[in-house]
Each structure stands twice: as C-alpha cells, then as structure tokens.
Chain A
C-alpha cells in the first residue's frame, strides 16, 4: 500500500478524466464505481438521507456501533467517491440528475427495473442529453422478462442462480452462500462489460446501454454445472467440503486460540501429496498402504482419513499445520478470520488492506483494488463520503451552479 500511495503524485491514472454518475445502492452497483474511482475516475455517488441506503445499515461497524456513518461495508463499496444527497422524487432533484448526466461519461444505477422510466431518467431519455453515454443498470433478474419485476437482494439471486442448492453438507439443509453471493459476482462481470464499452466508445464514439442481471452473472459462474445438465442430465449436488477428484479434501479443526475455534483447509491432489501428508502426520503406515495410493482407494476410506487428519490438526495451531504441510508441498491454509486479516503475511505484502483517514472515526480500512497494475496503479483516494458530504462542491464545481441556486435547492429540501 505504501508504494502505491506514495507514488500516486507521479504515476498516471488509468482512467483519468472519466466521469461517473453513480445512482446505485447496496453492494452490486456501488462496487463498480468504487473500482473506477480507484483508477482515477471522478465518481459522484447520489444517495438519499431520508431513505438511507441499505449498506449503511449493515455490519461490520466502526467500534461495533450501529450507525449510518459507521458501516465498513458501505466504506468498502464507496471509497474515493464524492457524496451527494438528493431527493430523486422531486422535479428539481431529477433536473440535478439530468445536469449530472450532461457532465458524466458513465451512469450506473440499480433501481427496480422501470423506476427510472417513471422519472423520465431512463437510458432513452438520458441519451438525448448525452448521445455517447455509457449507462449500466444492474438488477436481480434484468430489465425485461417474466422475472424483471422481482424484488430482491443478492440472496434471491443466489437462490435462482443455483448457489443456494450447492452449499451444504449432504445430510443437512442447503446452507446457501455466505451473504448475497451474486452481489460479489455481478459487479465483476458488469465492470468487464462496462470497460469494454468504454474502449469501444473511445474507438468509435458510440455509447451503450448495459443490462446486468445478478441471476445471470451467478449462473455464468456455474456454467460448467449447468452445461453438465444439458450435456447428460447430471444435476450438481452439494457435498460439504469434499471434491469429486481430490481426496482427502476438507476443512479440519485446529487448536483454538483465545477460546475461538480455528480451522485449516487441506487438499491432496495426487499420490505424492498424500504420502507427504501422511508422513507429516507421523503416519508412515498410512503412507505405505497400497489401498490408499489412489484417489479411489482413499475415497473408500474418506471418512476414516478425515477423522485421522482432524485428530492430528486439532492439537496444532492452524498456521502451524499450514506451514508444515506447505513445506512438504501439500496444499493447506488456515481458514483466515477477520482477526487474522490485517496481519496475514501475503495480503500484507500486497498492501491489500488500506488505511484511510476518516473524518468521524479518525481512520478506516478498506480493501485495495483487486488487480495490481504496474504502470498505472490504483488506490482509494479517500474514505467513502458521509451523507451529503460533497453537496456544495459537486453542484458548484462540477455543474457550475451559483450560490443562490444551491441555496434554493437546499431550502427546498431537494438536497436531502
């Protein structure tokens, strides 16, 4: 992180000059603008201070205190943006949006499909203002089709895309994913398409409208499984932490730390790794057993082997198991917790956790960009905005509104 932040004055920004109006909320939409801001785009995030956006209500919170200016989730999704609060239901608020569209190259939004059209702020209306606009809508199921009006958060997406069905032990209820999984997938594919559209606009001058559905993005990450069904009718099922090819393959209890349970993941890809694991456990007898030489043989004894491994790992710290097995060439890693995250050596080496000054909390932490670029590195320039933090500067500097006009908007309750 130090290299990137200290070099920022001299290194060029990949997306310098790109202007983004971010009308989205929660996770899937805001992560797109976050990535653009990291690489030099100017991103204006529009919110309502009356209908407070969901991510501000979600854990984790600074100091563990629930507060709409304290969510680290919101902070992670919105670092580096300018914040504007606006009453989008008012004609005056909608005019501010139109003016911002005139300023912007890109609009990102995640309203329920059809909502923007009611306000006459849909793509067809906005492209009149900005013919080469690149506009991206992200929603649960897309802008059209029988499910388009489906209300929902990412957990609805993970049910309809097949992930809910594919997480869990085979003798228990489907567990589902950790959080709204398609919120983690959708913005990645959205960003790829958006960047490609910007490259196309650069070359041809043509704008684009992009419709991203979280359900479809999620299914894309299950392409092999859904194709398997089409190929021979196989329906993928959940099977705990086991793998169809690799045995053993699991998550095992390690020695507790300060009363907190700890775990370590171990996977064996071939016979050599199996022998290395057995020897690391001090079980030469297992290493020499012919019936365990093949994956099929180990599969036949999988439950027994998992018990033996669990007994061995339970006496050791997770990191010790990781280090010991990695030294023997066996894939293994401690299950990294939030407590570990700040100090995990490889993430620390990459500067993945970035400390930023924060007006209310003194400092905050966000994740670094997920791609390190050697010539035009990205980094969050500042913490996510407080509600309405940049109302004045956005209207004055970006839209050239004069003081009287801004005052009228404020007094009219438009900047809320």
Chain B
C-alpha cells in the first residue's frame, strides 16, 4: 500500500501557531513531518479554542495531527545541534518562529543552506521575512487589518468585523505548503534548494474578491450599487453570488434557525430565483404577477420602470413568510431538488451531523488527551482517485514523544 503522494519527503517543522497548519498538510499527503517543540511545549498548545475542562487546545490537536514530535532545549547548544542535524537531512524546513530566534539557533535559511543546499526553506510570518514591517508585533486580527479583508467588512455603522476565529495564518500556511511544493517540483528540474517566503498580510489580499485592487484600477465607488434603478448608482449585482449585496437582504429566519438567500437577478443567475418563486407559488405563498416574474430580466424592468421597488418589496415579503414555515433541513433539501441559491446557516453541530460529509468519508478519528474516544476532525482536504490521497495521519504528538525514534531514523548512518 502506498502511504501517500509525498511519502518520500522529510519535513522539519519549526512552527508555532502561526505556521502549524502547513506541516499538517504535508503529513496528510504522506510526508514524514517532525514537529519541533521547546521543552515547555509549543505556544500552539495554548492557542484557542481551548477545552474548558482539560485545558487541551483543539487548535494544536487538529493542526499538529499526524506529525511526529521532538523536543529541544533552546538554551542547550548540544540539544539545538541535534535539530540542526535534522535540518541537514530534511527536504523541507518550515518555520514560523521569530527570525531572531532561528538566527540565534543557527537554523535560519543561510545556515541551513550552507550544509543542505537542496533544502526547501519555508518561512511563514505576519508580514514577511524582511521589509519595513517585518518586525511588527502581530496577531491574527492585526494581520487581517493589514492585508485588506477587514476594512470593507462593515455591519452598518459599527467598526469592520473579522471572522470570530483566527484565519489569517491558515491562509498563509496553506500558501506556504503550495509554495514549498512548487519549490519541490523546481528542485527536480533545476536541482536547487531555495527560500519560500510567505507573508500572511500578502496572503489574504485574495480574500477580498479583488477589492484591494479597486483604487489601483480606478474604481472609485466600490461601495457597490446593488439595487438596479436606484438613483445613487446603476450598477447591479448580477453575479448570482450575492457578493455585492448587503447582509440584511441575504439573511432570513426559518423555523429553527437562519437561512442565507440572495435573490439573484439578471441573465447569469436570475433563473435560480425563478426556481424559488415556482416553489413558493406551488405552496400558494405568492400571487400573480410576482409569481411569474422572470428574474433574468428584472434588472432591466426596474431600470425601465416597468417594475417598481414597492413590488420588489412585496416579492421579498413573500419569501420572508414562506421561509418562516420551513426548517433548515427542508430549505437545504429544497435547494438541492429545485436548484436554488438558498442555504441553511450551519453551526458546528449541524456540520458534525451532516449526512453528506459522512457519505464522503470526510472525517478522521483522532485520539486526543482527555477524550474517551477519538474525536472527529476534518480528515480529507480533497478526495483522490488513483494514488492514495490526503488523509489525516494520526494524533498530534506529546512533547518529545518521538525523540528517540526520530533522531535514530533520520540520523542513522
């Protein structure tokens, strides 16, 4: 049995919570990933969310899963030297430790490449390896602000909002894995190691749907006009994605929770809204002429005055009343059967109970300290036919759990 797409790679993982996910991806893909922790344990062991009863960090337990663990006494040069020895036989080194620390330890890119020029040295940091803000104090929120996704995300008059759980470094860590793999492929062609430098700030610009490019290309009113025919603009969100539509117009209460629904209009996606109104009409929830509107041409009709905004409000009221009588499960089922852009807003319990994810064998069972039984974690970043695909490779290591075996295996002569 093959053990994975990257079973031939040795990865030395010198990350904290910033870069922890990168090595997890390598481990899922079959690489031998060795996570190095200081004697007191990685700071990622305190990263939220932390279970109240046991103090166990679910961040650590999920994103260090499938790695082997070795410990290092950062104040003992003999101990650090053993890590340097691992770096000499690594294909990929990943770090998100502070630059000053890896330089003090002789584990920086220059030092590693001196002994191991074919190493792929991958750096994950808030702002980048060098530059005017490379030394900035960083947290997820601060990087989210610096990279662009925060500012445009407003809920009315209040300050911009982040996602309530950390995300910036996850994007950077996934990018780091991609950058490192591009370097792995380059090494096969050009026989060179190199440095892969990933900045979380730069990584998340793409999470703005190109909003960060608006001023550069001369779009000075990216406060998108969303309702056609209003005097303040004239642009329509005809994408179907609803990306340019205000939040309050996309959230609806249903019987047991909330629903996300964008009344898409225009040629590309208006047909989805036609499907919705067909359903509402079948159950007697909307009268003519609204029941027979063709939402593909509604924008034009609003601009020409053939339809009024009062009528649009009537249509919305019909949707509101209809959804109040439906459960999340009924909405989801209706969306699938009738091709609607309409979706239940799931929380973690809904996700854990999803029959679809179970069908796709999405979950991996990972043992965790303080848990009686293995815990379900997202186990497959993708499904692969042919070679063995990515799959969570086991539990996160205890501090120094694999000291003996890793040094023996990697440094065997």
Contact = CB atoms under 8 A, between A and B. Distances in A.
A393 interface: no
B381 A220 contact: yes
B354 to A, nearest CB: 8
Interface in B204-246: 204-222, 224, 235, 238-244
B5 A326 contact: no
B284 to A, nearest CB: 25
Given A147-B332, A371-B179, 7 more contacts: A149-B339, A199-B185, A206-B386, A244-B48, A338-B213, A349-B130, A375-B192
A299 to B, nearest CB: 14
B174 A189 contact: yes
Contact of B161 (A167, A231, A269, A342): A167
A314 B397 CA distance: 46
A73 to B, nearest CB: 4
28 contacts: A12-B192, A17-B189, A39-B182, A60-B222, A76-B210, A162-B350, A164-B345, A165-B345, A172-B155, A173-B247, A175-B161, A185-B171, A196-B181, A209-B386, A212-B381, A219-B351, A222-B378, A225-B348, A226-B377, A227-B368, A230-B352, A231-B58, A231-B370, A236-B164, A365-B213, A370-B203, A376-B183, A376-B192
B348 A54 contact: no
A192 B348 contact: no
Contacts of A236: 49, 164-165, 347-348
Contacts of A166: 163-165
B356 A145 contact: yes
Given A58-B243, A156-B260, A226 B142 contact: no
B292 interface: no
A171 B62 CA distance: 30
Contacts of B133: 326, 345-346
Interface in B153-181: 153, 155, 158-165, 167, 170-171, 174-179, 181
A253 interface: yes
Given A336-B145, A346-B128, A373-B183, A197 B198 contact: no
Interface stretch (A90-98, A176-184, A285-293, A394-402): A176-184
A151 interface: yes
Contacts of B241: 26, 54, 58, 153-155, 179-180
Contacts of B205: 341, 347, 352, 367
Interface in B362-407: 362, 366, 368, 370-371, 375-378, 380-387, 389-390
A102 interface: no
Contacts of A208: 5, 384-387, 389
A142 B383 contact: yes
Ranked nearest first, the 8 interchain pairs of A and B with the lowest CB-CB distance are A371-B179, A14-B186, A265-B145, A60-B214, A375-B194, A60-B219, A349-B131, A195-B181
A114 to B, nearest CB: 13
Given A221-B170, A331-B138, A375-B193, A264 B214 contact: no
Interface stretch (A2-10, A61-69, A404-412): A61-69
B202 interface: yes
Interface residues of A, number: 169
B4 to A, nearest CB: 8
A147 B148 contact: no
Interface in A26-45: 26-27, 31, 35, 39
B141 A241 contact: yes
Central interface residue in B6, B174, B182, B262, by most chain A CB within 10 Å? B182
Interface in A212-261: 212-213, 215-217, 219-232, 234-241, 243-246, 249-253
Contact of A175 (B49, B57, B199, B247): B247
A233 to B, nearest CB: 8
A59 interface: yes
A156 B343 contact: yes
Contacts of A244: 48-50
A364 interface: yes
Nearest to A62: B217
A72 B143 CA distance: 23
Interface string A285-312: 0000000000000000000000000000
Most buried by B among A35, A64, A230: A230
Nearest to A200: B5
A43 B132 CA distance: 35
Interface string B123-151: 00001101111101111011111111111
B25 interface: yes
A346 B146 contact: yes
Contacts of A374: 194-197
Residue in A341, A364, A378 whose Cβ sees the most chain B Cβ within 10 Å: A341
B239 A58 contact: yes
Given A147-B356, A160-B343, A333 B161 contact: no
B209 A58 contact: yes
A220 B378 contact: yes
A357 interface: no
B183 A336 contact: no
B21 to A, nearest CB: 8
B310 to A, nearest CB: 24
B201 interface: yes
B93 interface: no
B58 A147 contact: no
Given A189-B382, A197-B387, A199-B185, A341 B216 contact: yes
A227 to B, nearest CB: 5
Contacts of B381: 189, 192-193, 212, 216-217, 220
Interface in B250-280: 250-251, 258, 260, 262, 266, 268-269, 272
B353 to A, nearest CB: 10
A282 interface: no
B373 to A, nearest CB: 9
Interface in A133-149: 141-149
A66 B195 CA distance: 41
A241 B161 CA distance: 6
Interface in A303-340: 326, 329-339
A54 B262 CA distance: 15
Contact of A168 (B63, B161, B340): B161
Given A160-B346, A184-B207, A331-B137, A367 B212 contact: yes
Contacts of A58: 209-210, 239, 241, 243-244
B174 A192 contact: yes
Nearest to A141: B356
A146 B395 CA distance: 30
Given A193-B390, A337-B151, A346-B131, A167 B164 contact: yes
